[in-house]
Structure 1
Amino acid sequence: MKYILLMYHTEGVFTEEELPGQMDLALDVCHQLQAKGEFLGASPLLPVSSATSLSCKSGRLEVTDGPFAETKEQLGGYVLIDVPNLDDAIEVARKFPAAQRGTVEIRPLFELQGIPQVGK
């Protein structure tokens, strides 16, 4: 089953000194998943200050700077995995630094037919 792991934490939760090591830990988990054929993709996100949000209500386009929600914890990145079940997804999620200082939201993907595949 395919899952997305959404990494939430307060911006700046890792110091500048800690961040390279934490990124290395996350990369190591991704490489371990790749070796088992369970890695589908991942990416950290730039700071929330770089976000742009849009909505189109009643035919009127609204574009605003910043994130959709005003919260302390921000979406910092994602990892896409393909593992047999939720228990395995939980075991993967707990290995990421965001699980130690934030929250990892685990969501199964809805497999919609007709979505273009990367590289195809």
Structure 2
Amino acid sequence: MRYSLIFHAPEPQGGDPQPAPEVMEEMQKLMTDYADALDSAGVFIAAEMFEPQQATTTVTRRGGSVVIEDGPFAATKEALVGVFVIDVESRTAALAWAEKFPGTNYGVVEVRATAVSYIDGGWVHTQASQ
């Protein structure tokens, strides 16, 4: 069963101080160690960490026309920062991995089961295990 560990965290605003380089380095090491542990356990599918929210471009269709705009669609305190996709036997296992996610010290991890995946050229329907 595939689950996404969807990471939301506050992003520094205009005048907010940036984290110190050593803090960023430590978090990168913790994230690498976490990804390595997922990989070693044989449950790792993919991980993506995103550019800051202000680097976002949104694409929408309004009245039949495509509209492309720079910047995030919604102004929020927390932003979508990244996602880890794992393949585990149950929701309980997904929650156990989410508990180990290093970013929970300053952000939130949303655990969401995959309903449908595109794998090897076709859509595969899955059902969440409890």
> Would you say same fold, with TM above 0.5?
yes
Q: 1:112 to 1:77 in 2, by over 3 A?
A: closer
**Paired residue secondary structure (2:48):** strand
Partner of 2:126: none
Equivalents in 2 of 1:70, 1:4: separation in Å?
Answer: 23
Equivalents in 1 of 2:78, 2:27: separation in Å?
Answer: 18
Task: Provide the aligned C-alpha RMSD in A.
Answer: 2.1
Partner of 1:30: 35
Partner of 1:66: 71
Residues 56-110 of structure 1: CA distance to partner in whole angstroms, max 9, x if unpaired? 1231111111122210101111101001111111111122222121111111112
Residues 7-44 of structure 1: CA distance to partner in whole angstroms, max 9, x if unpaired? 11011497233111111111111111111110001021
Task: Tell me the number of residue pairs that the alignment of Structure 1 and Structure 2 aligns.
Answer: 117
Query: Which of these residues, 112, 115, 118, is aligned with residue 110 of structure 1?
Result: 115
Q: Which is greater in Rg?
A: 2
Partner of 2:6: 6
The alignment's TM-score, normalised by the length of structure 1, stands at 0.86
1:40 aligns with 2:77: no
Mind listing any 5+ residue stretches in structure 1 that lack a counterpart? Answer: none
Equivalents in 2 of 1:36, 1:57: separation in Å?
Answer: 45
- Contact 2:7 2:110 (8 Å CA) reproduced: yes
Equivalents in 2 of 1:78, 1:100: separation in Å?
Answer: 16
- Contact 2:34 2:102 (8 Å CA) reproduced: no
Query: Which of these residues, 95, 100, 109, is aligned with residue 90 of structure 1?
Result: 95
Equivalents in 2 of 1:53, 1:43: separation in Å?
Answer: 18
Amino acid at match of 2:113: P
Equivalents in 1 of 2:104, 2:33: separation in Å?
Answer: 15
